[in-house]
Amino acid sequence: MSEPDNSTPNTYDEGKNLKSNEISEEELYTTYTEDLWLDRVARVLGFGRLATFLPGQIPPSYLYAGIIIFIIDVVLNFRAYLVGEYVVYLENPFFIFQPLALLTAVYGAQTLRTRYHQVMHEMDISSRASNPDRLLNIVPSWLPWAFFIFLIGVNFIRIASFGGPVSLYQERGLSEVIGWLVANPIWATIASQFLAVYLSIVLLAPWRIWRSDIGIDFLDPEELGGLRPIGELIKHAYYYQVAGLIAFAFVLYTPGISSIEVERTAATNVFFTIAWVSAVATIGAGVFMLHRFMHQEKRYEILRLKKIKQQHIDNRWDIAKYTVADNKDDLITEVDKRMELVSTTSEYPATFSIWTQLLISIVLPKAVQLFIGGI
């Protein structure tokens, strides 16, 4: 092992002030400009061309979601009101959380994907990994389609349970038929995009990091192995799930809901609990995979350094008699220094504040559901 290089590119000004090179804007921030799956769907439907007439670079998915949600929610409910059909907002004003959640899902998918791109840039994955594309292009192209097909299948199973479109029309009117046959598939595209991005960041990214060769940064001054950016992003991604669960709780459990005795069934409670447990499981699995990755890297590096040290120490197993081989004192000192750096690195990519925020956000949706459900 070579002697440590004590020189640094930054020097002390008269022994007092540390001079540091300026950090460029590119080093701090990098923008993800590629289309998401929902953007490509929106372009096929003509929203990409519409976006070119607006100032700035507005993703087509924003226009797709905003315009269609407005048309369906406002126009259809207004029509239902005029002809005396069921108007969900009059029965349950808290249903406003549904369109808000859909718009937030579009924004969340765009924001999370952009932040993930920035995290990979900050972690310098392109130069550290032998196969960086597996980490840089984290959302598989097939995943949104898989979610979409699944959600469409569930939607049509529900329609069949009502007796089909004709029975639905006879019992609930035209607005309900349009809602199930048109609106729900559109909502499915939005949900599919968000779920694909969310699960790719929270589950797939930690898995690929664990199975990659990037190693961990033992020189990280935060002693988090250089993985704090991805840990922060996973926490941020979970916040969107928390917001969605709370909105879901308000839609299902608030006292303004019509036919409360029907909505607050055991099946409703079980469905909400499954959604909550699934969200908690995803965040737990992601953090666990990063923990195992860091744990294994630490153990490997400590064993490697230990073997180097053993090669140059006589009577290694006797504290009273051990001696360092000739001219190897500096090497042993350097090895000890590096072993300390490795040992002090956390095996979790999170600080106490991150853990506190996560624990609160994990408990919050269930607490809101229990509180509202008990009113």
Whether 224 and 346 have beta carbons less than 8 Å apart is answered as yes
What's the gap between Cα 45 and its chain centre?
Answer: 28
Q: What pLDDT is recorded for position 12? A: 40
* Separation of alpha carbons 116 and 199, rounded Å: 12
Whether 189 and 198 have beta carbons less than 8 Å apart is answered as no
| Residue 158 vs residues 71, 155, 184, 268, 364: alpha-carbon distances, Å | 24, 5, 11, 15, 30
* Separation of alpha carbons 243 and 58, rounded Å: 24
First to last CA, the chain: 69
Whether 242 and 361 have beta carbons less than 8 Å apart is answered as yes
Whether 37 and 26 have beta carbons less than 8 Å apart is answered as no
Q: Residue 222's closest CA among 103, 308, 136, 123?
A: 123
Beta strand extents in 247-371 (DSSP E only) = 313-314, 323-324
pLDDT by 10s per residue, the chain, length 375:
444 444 444 444 444 455 555 545 555 556 777 899 999 999 999 999 999 998 888 999 999 999 999 988 888 888 888 887 777 787 778 888 889 999 999 999 999 999 999 999 999 999 999 999 999 999 999 999 999 999 999 999 989 988 888 888 888 778 788 888 999 999 999 999 999 999 999 999 999 999 999 999 999 999 999 999 999 999 999 999 999 999 888 887 765 444 444 345 667 778 888 889 999 999 999 999 999 999 999 999 999 999 988 888 777 776 776 777 777 788 888 888 999 999 999 988 877 777 888 888 888 888 888 887 766
* Separation of alpha carbons 72 and 178, rounded Å: 9
pTM: 0.85
Tell me the two tokens of residue 255: 């006292």
* Separation of alpha carbons 146 and 192, rounded Å: 8
Tell me the two tokens of residue 296: 């294994």
| Interhelix angle 184-199/37-44, nearest 10 degrees | 150
Q: What pLDDT is recorded for position 265? A: 63
Can you list the pairs that 276-283 forms with residues at least 24 positions away whose Cβ atoms lie under 8 Å?
Answer: 276/245, 276/365, 276/366, 276/369, 279/238, 279/241, 279/242, 279/245, 279/365, 280/362, 282/198, 282/199, 282/202, 282/203, 282/238, 282/241, 283/202, 283/234, 283/238, 283/241, 283/358, 283/362
Whether 95 and 251 have beta carbons less than 8 Å apart is answered as yes
- Contacts of 128 by beta carbon, 8 Å cutoff, 6+ apart: 214, 215
